[in-house]
């Protein structure tokens, strides 16, 4: 568009499964480059490339991909969104390190010719831990300024006290600096089941609440994610996701005995997302798949793998990945809520799996939710919430909408998973550090 917004025209468009970052201009202002990311449902990583677009002709092409430009990098390498095209025709960008340091990003530069094509090998500029977000350069391109940050999901524990005493001060359960993400508890409420990328990719672990060392339950060469207790309380369900950059293979829903033993495949699908099961005596398990227009829910037999679609509970939205959902412990209520953006008064929906009825509950004075989970007794919800003033909190919300603030924090409380006995919460918190650095290019 013009400098006053006149004569706008669309240059590039994508689908709900793909996104792109902000553009960087060429020195002659005739081209732009930007990062594109395509994410298949059920995967936490995306396939990323840097794309060149000629503004006069509309021609576009991929000019940088992790392995093509940086052969020593893993196929699952990820780019930061921002980059700089310097006056001396070098593209400066950030890309992740190979496992097990895949949470670290560092700066690289690659020479470009006058048409924006790669004209030589990439050169590493930095080698330090942490992620990279914002990136900019001086007019002559000699100084590059960037934000170096670390965003670490960490598990904390809090004890539920009787009466109105609330929660105990959270204490840290996982004491490492890897991404540790809680999903479930063991049936006896003595250990938390979580995923961690401490081995380079996500595997499944359990850690007793009175110990500092975790035991690996599921390893291997595939991503193992979203562990949930099966209704029999003696086995674990989880998703085995295909390797990023590999051949297109379906996501597999697996089942393994908690006491140990080989896993067995329950079913497979290209689009499986979240899965949750009720507690005994209910045998209800649900999972969802992402469609082109939203989410579809399926009822699952966790032993035979037979499933049936619950057509009355389809969520219609062009951004289905922004939805969270939870199943009540008795298997009778499905909870859904949008988890992205700011709202004056966020809401969630409660669907009856018995009669198909729906009820919407609105929570005032908050801007959004980061997670919603049923309490152990199913009579209330634990909700990570935030407001426009930058305050994070853990709420306890009754099913009629009455909310009580249980914890406040300066860091994001993503969600809280209750132990089956209702005496403890596994809190998922996001720890963020950030600093600004300057690099002198020679």
**pLDDT tens, position by position, 316-338:** 776 666 788 999 999 999 999 98
For residue 397, is pLDDT > 90?
yes
Predicted confidence at residue 231, as pLDDT, reads 94
Predicted confidence at residue 172, as pLDDT, reads 94
- Do residues 43 and 244 lie in contact, with contact meaning Cβ atoms separated by under 8 Å? yes
Predicted confidence at residue 289, as pLDDT, reads 87
Q: Name, in order, each residue with C-beta under 8 angstroms of 247's C-beta and a sequence gap of 6 or more.
A: none
Helices (H) and strands (E) in the chain, counts: 1, 35
- Do residues 234 and 244 lie in contact, with contact meaning Cβ atoms separated by under 8 Å? no
- Classify 322 as helix, strand or coil: helix
CA distance 222 to 176: 22
Closest CA to 237 of 220, 260, 257: 257
Which has the minimum average pLDDT: 17-31, 58-72, 171-185?
A: 58-72
Q: What is the DSSP letter of 284?
A: -
Q: 100 or 54, which is more confident?
A: 54
Predicted confidence at residue 16, as pLDDT, reads 64
For residue 343, is pLDDT > 70?
no
For residue 69, is pLDDT > 80?
no
Q: 98 or 147, which is more confident?
A: 147
- Do residues 69 and 77 lie in contact, with contact meaning Cβ atoms separated by under 8 Å? no
Compute the average pLDDT of residues 350-373. Answer: 91
Predicted confidence at residue 40, as pLDDT, reads 61
- Do residues 239 and 227 lie in contact, with contact meaning Cβ atoms separated by under 8 Å? no
Give the pLDDT band of residue 94 (cuts 50, 70, 90): very high
- Residues above pLDDT 70, as percent of the chain: 91
- Whole-angstrom CA distances from 242 to 42, 44, 45, 77, 314 are 9, 11, 10, 15, 26
Produce one character per residue of 382-409: b if its CB has 16 or more CB atoms within 10 Å, e if not: bbbbbeeeeebbbbbbebeeebeebbee
CA distance 132 to 138: 18
Q: 324 or 312, which is more confident?
A: 324
Q: 164 or 97, which is more confident?
A: 97
Predicted confidence at residue 164, as pLDDT, reads 66
Predicted confidence at residue 45, as pLDDT, reads 63
- Do residues 363 and 346 lie in contact, with contact meaning Cβ atoms separated by under 8 Å? yes
Q: 342 or 20, which is more confident?
A: 20
- Residues above pLDDT 90, as percent of the chain: 59
Query: Exposure of 106 by Cβ count < 10 A (0-12 exposed, 13-18 middle, 19+ buried)?
Result: buried
Q: Which tens digit of pLDDT belongs to each residue from 238-265?
A: 999 876 555 557 889 999 999 888 999 9
Q: Which tens digit of pLDDT belongs to each residue from 150-176?
A: 888 999 999 998 766 689 999 999 988
- Do residues 205 and 194 lie in contact, with contact meaning Cβ atoms separated by under 8 Å? yes
Predicted confidence at residue 151, as pLDDT, reads 81
- Average per-residue pLDDT in the chain? 88
For residue 348, is pLDDT > 60?
yes
Predicted confidence at residue 146, as pLDDT, reads 95
Predicted confidence at residue 77, as pLDDT, reads 79
CA distance 315 to 296: 7
Predicted confidence at residue 170, as pLDDT, reads 94
Handedness of CA 176, 182, 184, 190 (dihedral sign): positive
pTM comes to 0.79
Compute the average pLDDT of residues 100-107. Answer: 84
Q: 63 or 47, which is more confident?
A: 63
For residue 67, is pLDDT > 80?
no
Which has the minimum average pLDDT: 127-136, 173-182, 288-297?
A: 288-297
Compute the average pLDDT of residues 53-75. Answer: 79
Compute the average pLDDT of residues 48-59. Answer: 92
152-432 sits in which CATH class?
mainly beta
């Amino acid at each position: 568009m013009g400098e006053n917004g006149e004569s706008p025209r669309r240059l590039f468009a994508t689908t709900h499964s793909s996104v792109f970052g902000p553009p960087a201009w060429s020195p002659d202002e005739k081209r732009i480059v930007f990062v594109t990311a395509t994410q298949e449902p059920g995967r936490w990583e995306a396939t990323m490339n840097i794309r060149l677009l000629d503004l006069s002709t509309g021609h576009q092409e991929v000019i940088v991909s992790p392995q093509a430009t940086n052969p020593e990098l893993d196929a699952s390498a990820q780019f930061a969104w921002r980059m700089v095209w310097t006056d001396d025709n070098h593209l400066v960008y950030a890309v992740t390190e190979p496992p097990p340091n895949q949470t670290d990003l560092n700066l690289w530069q690659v020479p470009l010719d006058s048409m924006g094509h790669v004209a030589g090998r990439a050169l590493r500029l930095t080698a330090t831990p942490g992620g990279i977000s914002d990136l900019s350069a001086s007019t002559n391109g000699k100084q590059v300024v960037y934000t170096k940050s670390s965003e670490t999901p960490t598990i904390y524990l809090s004890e539920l006290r009787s009466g109105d005493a609330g929660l105990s001060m959270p204490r840290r359960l996982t004491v490492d600096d890897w991404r540790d993400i809680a999903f479930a508890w063991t049936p006896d409420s003595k250990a938390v089941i979580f995923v961690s990328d401490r081995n380079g990719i996500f595997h499944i672990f359990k850690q007793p609440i009175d110990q500092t060392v975790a035991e690996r339950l599921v390893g291997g060469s595939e991503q193992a994610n979203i562990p949930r207790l099966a209704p029999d309380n003696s086995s674990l369900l989880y998703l085995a996701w295909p390797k990023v950059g590999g051949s297109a293979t379906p996501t597999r829903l697996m089942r393994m005995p908690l006491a140990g033993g080989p896993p067995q495949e329950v079913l497979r699908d290209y689009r499986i997302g979240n899965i949750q099961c009720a507690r005994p005596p209910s045998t209800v398990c649900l999972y969802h798949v992402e469609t082109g227009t939203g989410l579809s829910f399926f009822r699952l037999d966790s032993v035979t793998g037979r499933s049936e679609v619950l057509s009355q509970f389809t969520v219609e939205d062009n951004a289905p990945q922004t939805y969270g959902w939870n199943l009540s412990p008795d298997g009778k209520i499905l909870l859904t809520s949008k988890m992205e953006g700011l709202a004056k008064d966020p809401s969630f929906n409660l669907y009856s799996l018995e009669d198909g009825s729906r009820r919407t509950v609105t929570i005032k004075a908050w801007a959004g939710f980061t997670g919603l989970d049923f309490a152990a007794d199913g009579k209330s919800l634990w909700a990570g919430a935030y407001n426009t003033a930058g305050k994070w909190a853990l709420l306890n919300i009754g099913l009629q909408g009455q909310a009580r603030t249980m914890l406040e924090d300066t860091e994001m409380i993503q969600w809280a998973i209750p132990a089956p006995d209702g005496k403890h919460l596994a809190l998922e918190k996001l720890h963020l550090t950030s600093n600004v650095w300057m690099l002198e290019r020679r």
